[in-house]
Amino acid sequence: MEKKHKKIDYAKWGYLFILPFFVSFFIFSLIPLVDTIRYSFFEYYRSGIKEVGPNFVGLENYISLLGSDMLKYTGNTMMLWIIGFIPQIVIALLLAEWFVDARLKIHGTQFFKVVIYLPNLIMASAFAMLFFTMFSTNGPINSILMSLGWISQPVDFLGSVTGTRSLVGLMNFLMWFGNSTIMLMAAIMGISPDIFEASELDGCNSVQRFFYITLPQIRPILAYTLITAIIGGLQMFDVPQILTNGQGTPDRTSMTLIMFLNSHLKSKNYGMAGALSVYLFVVSGILCFIVYRMTNNDDPDGSKAAAKKAKKQRRG
């Protein structure tokens, strides 16, 4: 206690080292952010090469967005996301379980881990271009199907709602399932092997082990994966943008929120685009908050309810 005055203060070095982040965050993120919110209350766009505004219009942008098809595009976005996410999480769970399972003794796990992660390294737009060419009416997929004799007329994949949405889903699935697999593998490897050994001694089969041990144990990470995927899904745009040439064809059914935002930015409509960004910001903010609550629980199970229950039991 008497040596207290001699204690060296390392904290300032810590602050110094994180300073670059905060400076660049302030310049490149915070200022544009505040600007976006400010412009969302203005009428501000370009007609030809003539500027209109900025004129203060209050909440008009927000109201007219609610009156537009914004909710339809939200629906589109969620739909496209779900089509990709369900196979993504199912396959990822399955692969993670298999790769980690010591008894299966899969050879070359390391190799497969790299391979399944590879699609994520390709630029989304390049990936979309590839699919666009492959699935066009004169493309190789149609030629193969026709030469196999499975179809007589070329299938117009990109001309139908189901076709376009499935393709977007498929691409998102291919791009992201490797990422989820690796994350879930880390989670499964974090489970204490004692539990698995104990269950084996009790005669537990692999299905039971998956549903009663693995799944409950990785719930926090699973929830985290889910929320970050939703946030990523909300901002989905590159794949459908390239695949449908920015039109969200057919009938605007594959138009996502960010593509909607982009079509406002074509006329440099900062007011309307700003208001839409603020809506997105609020939704992502709420989701981030949920993640924060979830990852900051001391309870191993990860849920508040379970924590309360455990407390009660301890007391009782």
Partner 1 sequence: MKKRAVSILLAAALAAGALAGCGSPSGTGSAEGNTETGTEEGSAETGTEEGKVINIYSWNDEFRQRVEAVYPEVKETSKDGTVTTLKDGTEIHWTINPNQDGVYQQKLDEALMNQADAAADDKVDIFLSETDYVNKYTDADADAAMPLTDLGIDPEKDLADQYSFTKVTASDADGVQRGSTWQCCPGLLVYRRDIAKDVFGTDDPEAVGEKVKDWDTMKATAEELKAKGYFAFSSYADTFRLYGNSIAQSWVSPGETVIKVDQKIMDWVADSKEWLDAGYLDKNVKGQWNDDWNKAMSSSSKVFAFLFPAWGIDFTLKPNWDGEDGAWAVTNPPQEYNWGGSYVHACTGTDNPKHVKDIILAVTGDQENLLKISKDYADFTNTKTGMQQAAKDDEGFSSEFLGGQNAFKYFAPVAENIEIAPLSAYDQGCVELIQNSFNDYLQGQVDFEKAKANFETAIRERYPDITEIQWPE
Which residues lie near partner 1 (CB under 8 A)? 25, 28-33, 35-36, 39, 45-52, 68-69, 133, 136-138, 154, 156, 159-161, 231, 235, 245-247, 249-252, 258, 260-261, 263-264, 266-270, 272-274, 277-278, 280-281, 284-285, 288-289, 291-292, 296
The answer to whether the CB of 191 falls within 8 A of the CB of 217 is yes
CB of residue 240 to partner 1, shortest distance in Å: 14
Q: Report the run of H or E that residue 132 belongs to, with start and end.
A: helix 124-134
If the CB atoms of residues 162 and 208 are measured against partner 1, the closer one turns out to be 162
If the CB atoms of residues 65 and 218 are measured against partner 1, the closer one turns out to be 65
CB of residue 2 to partner 1, shortest distance in Å: 27
CB of residue 183 to partner 1, shortest distance in Å: 17
Strands (E), the chain: 42-47, 50-56
Sign of the alpha-carbon torsion through 49, 53, 58, 64: negative
- Sequence-distant (6+) residues with CB within 8 A of 162 are none
If the CB atoms of residues 159 and 190 are measured against partner 1, the closer one turns out to be 159
CB of residue 209 to partner 1, shortest distance in Å: 34
If the CB atoms of residues 36 and 199 are measured against partner 1, the closer one turns out to be 36
If the CB atoms of residues 83 and 272 are measured against partner 1, the closer one turns out to be 272
CB of residue 62 to partner 1, shortest distance in Å: 15
If the CB atoms of residues 117 and 132 are measured against partner 1, the closer one turns out to be 132
C-alpha distances in Å from residue 300, one per residue of 70, 198, 231, 294, 305:
39, 19, 24, 11, 12
26: tokens are 């302030």
- Sequence-distant (6+) residues with CB within 8 A of 256 are 73, 76, 77, 80, 236, 237, 240, 248
Q: Dihedrals φ, ψ of 214, to 5°?
A: -60, -55
- Sequence-distant (6+) residues with CB within 8 A of 283 are 234
CB of residue 55 to partner 1, shortest distance in Å: 12
